Amino acid sequence: MPNSVKWLGHAACQVTTTGGCVILIDPWITGNPGCPVKKEDIGKVDIILVTHDHFDHMGTDIPDLVRATGAKVIGQPELVGILQEAGVPAENTVGMNIGGQVEVAGIKVTMTQAFHSATAGDAVGYIITLEDGKTIYHAGDTGIFASMELLGRIYSIDLALLPIGSVYVMDPLQAAYSLTLLKPGKVVPIHYGTFPVLVQDAGEFVKLAGEKAPGVPVEVLKPGQEIVI
């Protein structure tokens, strides 16, 4: 079985690895207008990664998901502290910070910078290295930044999950340019279409990515669709 990455709408993504590990990133399930599943239908989860504490990323389901699955939740210490107050047992949390790497269930997770606001701690992104070495970059919410080029040099990114919706995150032009820095094997645009104020579809991003980074295939998913890496 290849690794698969399913888009659950907005920034929420579900990775299932060749080794059977399930990783949820930014699990805004309940209340997410794009999410095709209910939290009860999520099933097995081993790792939950949270990029920052805004409602459209942290959501409200994490305590229930942890109770049902025993998953380990990874985030900045301040965010993890909020989750502990909300009932997530301390032994199910892993606090870390930008630049660090932790290994959970055979998956290597590196926290990266992101340029965005947060109530507790900083907004971040993640480099996720799967058991077979395949590498996913989830940028979180961010504008473009020059050290994306460093991330592209240090890590061989097979798949980038990039926000393109503008207003709160990169617009399609910045997201397209970021591909020239990150040099991923392919890209899936996320964080658009969810709110009326956001860019509503991936058309402009597809066009601009084709101009700025013609070597990077763009995979536009519908919520609930998945790709393999």
- Using CB under 5 A, list all residues that contact Zn ion: 56, 141
Report how far residue 190's alpha carbon sits from residue 220's, in angstroms, rounded to the nearest whole number: 9
6 or 191, CB closer to Zn ion?
A: 191
CB of 74 to Zn ion, least distance (A): 18
Q: How far apart are CA 30 and CA 115, in angstroms?
A: 26
CB of 193 to Zn ion, least distance (A): 13
Min dist CB 129 to Zn ion, Å, is 24
Looking at beta carbons only, is 53 or 141 nearer to Zn ion? Answer: 141
Q: Which is nearer to Zn ion, 92 or 125 (CB)?
A: 125
CB of 109 vs Zn ion, minimal distance in Å = 20
User: Cβ of residue 198: shortest distance to Zn ion, in angstroms?
Assistant: 9
Cβ-contact 65, 89 below 8 angstroms = no
Q: How many CB atoms lie within 10 A of CB 60?
A: 14
> 56 or 122, CB closer to Zn ion?
56
- Provide, rounded to whole angstroms, the least separation between the CB of residue 200 and Zn ion: 16
What's the start-to-end Cα distance of the chain, in Å?
10
Q: Which is nearer to Zn ion, 53 or 56 (CB)?
A: 56
Nearer to Zn ion, 107 or 164 (CB): 164
∠ CA 167-24-138, nearest 5°, is 45
